[in-house]
Amino acid sequence: MRLVERLPDHSHYKVAIHDDDELARRQQDAERAGAKRPGRTRAVDAHTWTPERAALTDIGDILLGIRASLEAQRTGRRQRVTPLPRPRLARDRLEAADSYRRHRDRVRLMLGRG
């Protein structure tokens, strides 16, 4: 098991683990028990995500933040920065599905159909 933990994040094994719906469901249930929130929204294929790409994306986000800060100082208006896309993994899909289900239940309750 120790060798598996040392595999790079872009290895086929780690990508398969991160993209496994059943494992994501179990992790999500465990996090709910610990009241932990997931990270930001992602939208890139996990099979093409490498440590180099992750580092470049982080650098890009930092540069976008700096540019927005400079633009805000120049114009006097706050600039909104949208982070660059990250991989959308199985747990993200489950979180989106659960969020949509909760929204649908609330709408049904508000409309008196539940």
pLDDT, tens only, 29-64: 877 776 545 454 546 778 888 899 999 999 999 999
- The Cα 86–Cα 56 span in angstroms is 11
Q: 77 and 96 in one domain? A: no
Token pair of 1, please? 């098991």
Q: Which long-range contacts (CB under 8 A, 24 or more apart) does 49-56 make?
A: 49/9, 49/10, 49/15, 49/86, 49/87, 50/8, 50/9, 50/10, 51/8, 51/9, 51/10, 54/9
Lowest mean pLDDT among 14-23, 59-68, 94-103: 14-23
Query: Smallest Cα–Cα separation from 14: which of 25, 3, 30?
Result: 3
Q: 106 and 80 in one domain? A: no
What would the pLDDT profile of 58-98 be if each residue is shown by its tens digit? 999 999 999 999 999 999 998 889 999 988 888 888 888 89
Q: 30 and 1 in one domain? A: yes
Residue 44 lies in a domain: no
Q: 34 and 63 in one domain? A: no
Q: Under 8 Å CB-to-CB from 25, ≥6 apart: which residues? A: 94
Q: 109: domain range?
A: 1-39+90-114
Residue 70 lies in a domain: yes
Residue 8 lies in a domain: yes
Number of domains in the chain: 2
